[in-house]
């Protein structure tokens, strides 16, 4: 630790330097207030200052006042030294911002004890400072979490309402499109008999149009189902869940996406020996399907496209890792992926709900879902702590 000795008398400075040096301090000397101020402005500023009260030009009390008023003043323990012996002088020095007061001539034994007090105070103030910083970091993190949770809760209510409203009209659209498709061959024949070339040309387009309407309605239905599952309150009591094997869920989810793994994307399953645990298979599989879908999207067009799923029994529950060898997740995207409706996919392709729903499902299973990038390239999603 640096200690600063401020005294216009070189003999006193030499004496203090020798004493402080022998107690393990790195000693800086200043012969006047100006030198002291530049020493205090150093990057590794001294934390302890022994300052003479009476000096020509700026005296010790004035120097102290200035040092204390520096905007980013670091902790500084100040021992004021003076030839004055009256208690009024000591009181004045302490009121002016000194932490301690000693009279000349200096008594090395007493001074050592008082410097020791200063070191203890500094250590405590540093510990407090660290604690305060840690607390403020925690508070910031907590505030961000609350904001996120709040946004999700609002979305949940909104989603439930919207899903409910959209469900019925979507069913009409899909049902009527299906009905039209069924009666269309009869209508088409009737139109052909009318012999109007323009009508015949238009009618050739109708099956594709109806299929598009049905496809669109199906897509709306899926989004609504997603929103509903997002909005619903999951069974939070694990005892109501059945005992199931996570590996079977992984296999079922992979089967559901079978067509995506058939062609260009290789699926590697490495399922470890894990114990059965209480999960809600349909929702758990939904989370897995989301992760697998994302991984398949990420490896589109990649040579040797591979998605790997690994399950392991860990001390804190079951872990499932989904990895791909796609491009990975850029930092700016990583910050957003858990937010509802955040997607980098083209309109009509992604809703941006997948990860947000999955994270919630895993949390409802008592676990955590985290994302990172693999050193070798590609993304890694880790479900951990399930069934613990």
Ligand X SMILES: Nc1ncnc2c1ncn2[C@@H]1O[C@H](COP(=O)(O)OP(=O)(O)OP(=O)(O)O)[C@@H](O)[C@H]1O
Residue 298: contacted member of ligand X, Mg ion, none (CB under 5 to 8 Å, by partner type): ligand X
- Binding positions for ligand X, 243-302, rule CB under 6 A: 290, 294-295, 298
54 Cβ contact list (under 8 Å, min separation 6): 60, 82, 83
Task: Scan for tokens 């919207």, then name that residue.
Answer: 162
Pick the closer one to ligand X by CB: 35 or 344.
Answer: 344
Pick the closer one to Mg ion by CB: 77 or 381.
Answer: 381
316 Cβ contact list (under 8 Å, min separation 6): 384, 385, 388
Contact window for Mg ion (CB under 5 A) among 46-54, 86-94, 141-149, 294-302: 294-302
Residue 102 binding ligand X, by CB under 6 A? no
Asked if 100 and 118 count as a contact pair (C-beta separation under 8 A), the reply is yes
Residue 351 binding ligand X, by CB under 6 A? yes
Task: Output the CA angle 265-363-280, nearest 5 degrees.
Answer: 75
Report in angstroms how near the CB of residue 381 gets to Mg ion at its nearest: 11
Q: What is the Cα–Cα distance from 334 to 341, expressed in whole angstroms?
A: 14
Report in angstroms how near the CB of residue 222 gets to ligand X at its nearest: 9
Report in angstroms how near the CB of residue 162 gets to Mg ion at its nearest: 20
Nearest residue to Mg ion by CB is 354
Pick the closer one to Mg ion by CB: 53 or 381.
Answer: 381
Q: What is the Cα–Cα distance from 128 to 245, expressed in whole angstroms?
A: 49
Pick the closer one to ligand X by CB: 170 or 325.
Answer: 325
Q: Which of 103, 342, 366, 368 binds ligand X (CB under 6 A)?
A: 342
Contact window for Mg ion (CB under 5 A) among 40-48, 54-62, 179-187, 291-299: 291-299
Size of the site for ligand X (CB under 6 A): 21
> Which backbone phi and psi does 298 adopt, to 5 degrees?
-70, -25
The one-character DSSP state at 240 is G
Report in angstroms how near the CB of residue 384 gets to ligand X at its nearest: 17
Residue 174: contacted member of Mg ion, ligand X, none (CB under 5 to 8 Å, by partner type): none
The alpha carbon of 37 is separated from its chain's Cα centroid by a whole number of angstroms, namely 42
Residue 326 binding Mg ion, by CB under 5 A? no
Pick the closer one to ligand X by CB: 71 or 346.
Answer: 346
Q: What is the Cα–Cα distance from 177 to 213, expressed in whole angstroms?
A: 7
Q: Which of 329, 369, 383, 386 binds ligand X (CB under 6 A)?
A: 329
Residue 359 binding ligand X, by CB under 6 A? no
The one-character DSSP state at 341 is T
> Which backbone phi and psi does 48 adopt, to 5 degrees?
-125, 135
Measure Cα distances from 176 to 204, 221, 223, 302 in Å: 19, 15, 20, 41
Pick the closer one to ligand X by CB: 118 or 354.
Answer: 354
Asked if 386 and 317 count as a contact pair (C-beta separation under 8 A), the reply is yes
Quickly list DSSP for 278-319: EE-HHHHHHHHHHHHHHHHHHTTT-TT-EEEEEEEEETTEEE
Residue 374 binding ligand X, by CB under 6 A? no
Residue 283 binding Mg ion, by CB under 5 A? no
> Which backbone phi and psi does 178 adopt, to 5 degrees?
-65, -45
Nearest residue to ligand X by CB is 354
Report in angstroms how near the CB of residue 358 gets to ligand X at its nearest: 7
Helix (H/G/I), strand (E/B), else coil: 384: strand
Q: Which of 354, 367, 378, 385 binds Mg ion (CB under 5 A)?
A: 354
The alpha carbon of 115 is separated from its chain's Cα centroid by a whole number of angstroms, namely 43
Report in angstroms how near the CB of residue 286 gets to ligand X at its nearest: 11
Contact window for ligand X (CB under 6 A) among 73-81, 197-205, 210-218, 335-343: 335-343
The alpha carbon of 58 is separated from its chain's Cα centroid by a whole number of angstroms, namely 51
Pick the closer one to ligand X by CB: 82 or 351.
Answer: 351
The footprint of ligand X (CB under 6 A) covers 290, 294-295, 298, 324, 326, 329, 333, 337, 342-345, 350-356, 379
The footprint of Mg ion (CB under 5 A) covers 294, 354
């Amino acid at each position: 630790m640096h200690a600063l000795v401020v005294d216009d008398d070189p003999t006193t400075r030499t004496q203090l330097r020798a004493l402080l040096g022998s107690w393990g301090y790195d000693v800086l000397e200043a012969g006047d207030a100006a030198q002291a101020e530049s020493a205090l402005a150093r990057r590794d500023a001294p934390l302890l200052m022994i300052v003479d009260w009476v000096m020509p030009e700026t005296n010790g009390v004035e120097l102290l006042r200035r040092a204390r008023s520096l905007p980013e003043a670091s902790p500084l323990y100040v021992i004021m030294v003076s030839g004055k012996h009256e208690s009024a002088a000591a009181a004045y020095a302490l009121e002016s911002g000194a932490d301690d007061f000693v009279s000349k001539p200096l008594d090395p034994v007493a001074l050592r004890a008082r410097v020791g007090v200063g070191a203890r105070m500094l250590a405590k103030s540093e510990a407090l400072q660290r604690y305060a910083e840690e607390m403020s970091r925690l508070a910031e993190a907590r505030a961000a979490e609350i904001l996120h949770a709040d946004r999700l809760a609002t979305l949940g209510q909104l989603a439930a309402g919207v899903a409910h409203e959209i469900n019925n009209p979507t069913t009409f659209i899909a049902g009527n499109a299906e009905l039209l498709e069924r009666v269309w061959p009869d209508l088409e024949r009737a139109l052909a008999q009318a012999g109007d070339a323009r009508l015949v040309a238009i009618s050739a387009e109708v099956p594709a149009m109806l299929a598009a309407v049905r496809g669109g309605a199906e897509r709306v239905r899926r989004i609504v189902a997603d929103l509903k599952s997002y909005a619903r309150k999951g069974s939070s009591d694990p005892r109501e869940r059945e005992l199931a094997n996570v590996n079977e869920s992984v296999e079922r989810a992979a089967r559901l996406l079978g067509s995506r793994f058939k062609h260009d994307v290789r699926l590697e399953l490495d399922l470890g020996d894990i114990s059965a645990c209480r999960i809600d298979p349909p929702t758990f599989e939904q989370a897995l399907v989301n992760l697998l879908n994302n991984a398949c999207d990420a490896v589109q067009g990649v040579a040797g496209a591979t998605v790997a799923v690994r399950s392991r029994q860990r001390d804190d529950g079951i872990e499932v890792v989904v990895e791909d060898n796609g491009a990975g997740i850029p930092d700016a995207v990583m910050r957003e992926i858990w937010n509802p409706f955040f997607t980098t996919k083209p309109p009509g392709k992604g809703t941006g709900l997948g990860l947000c729903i999955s994270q919630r499902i895993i949390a409802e299973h008592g676990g955590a879902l985290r994302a990172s990038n693999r050193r070798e390239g590609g993304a890694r999603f880790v479900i951990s702590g399930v069934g613990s």
